[in-house]
Amino acid sequence: GAVVSQHPSWVICKSGTSVKIECRSLDFQATTMFWYRQFPKQSLMLMATSNEGSKATYEQGVEKDKFLINHASLTLSTLTVTSAHPEDSSFYICSAETGHDNEQFFGPGTRLTVL
Amino acid sequence: RKEVEQDPGPFNVPEGATVAFNCTYSNSASQSFFWYRQDCRKEPKLLMSVYSSGNEDGRFTAQLNRASQYISLLIRDSKLSDSATYLCVVASGGGADGLTFGKGTHLIIQP
């Protein structure tokens, strides 16, 4: 149980384009999902909390107009990196909370490379 | 001051040995604590939650000291497959809160 999928697993795009990443909870419903980013040799940093049916909550320093989050259903949240630039190249990981003791399970991550 | 601090290592440990990691957190209001394991270029995987009473899962034992604000992880009879980065993770609230990660401790088990 508690399986989270993410798609795509990797993407290479040109600077200025937009990239959409999907995060799905496969065997449970998640009213709350989270998006994290991890730069090489760094720890994961929370970007935003995605709430089903309402606006996402962004962490300080994360541009909400650049990182668009949509959580349209209890099993799907999407992150769109708009007008991507090379400095956005990173490992983006989503997680979903099962509702048990704040435990979160992570998707396999999406490695984004912006040329 | 960093919110969650860990010794980055690497810890080079012979197979079969016992190894322990500590982690300190700064937010005294933190309510939930976890150890995650992350393999190179992979997503973190939950290893175990850490409870006030301490908990054990096979070769792994986790302890929480709220007064001193630190968490520990003990691995007994270490295996080569235990080589990974171990992330100390804290959640501050009782509701749906994002997690705060330490930078991780890199463990290398040597044959």
What's the average model confidence in pLDDT over B74-85? 97
Residues B74-111: b if buried by 16+ CB within 10 A, e if exposed? ebeebeeebbbbbbbbbbbeeebbbbbbbbbbbbebee
**Cα B37 vs. chain centroid, distance in angstroms?**
8
- 40-99 in A: which are within 8 Å (CB) of B? 42-46, 49, 51, 59, 91, 93, 95, 97
C-alpha span between A23 and A27 (Å, rounded): 13
Residue A84 has pLDDT above 90, yes or no: yes
Which of A46, A108, A109 shows the shortest C-beta gap to B99? A46
Tell me the pLDDT tens digit for each residue of B28-38. Answer: 888 889 999 99
Residue A59 has pLDDT above 70, yes or no: yes
Residue A31 has pLDDT above 90, yes or no: no
CA distance B60 to chain A (A): 18
Supply the DSSP string of A44-78, one letter for each residue.
-EEEEEEETTS--EEPTT--TTTEEEEEEETTEEE
Tell me the pLDDT tens digit for each residue of A100-114. Answer: 667 788 999 999 999
Residue B11 has pLDDT above 80, yes or no: yes
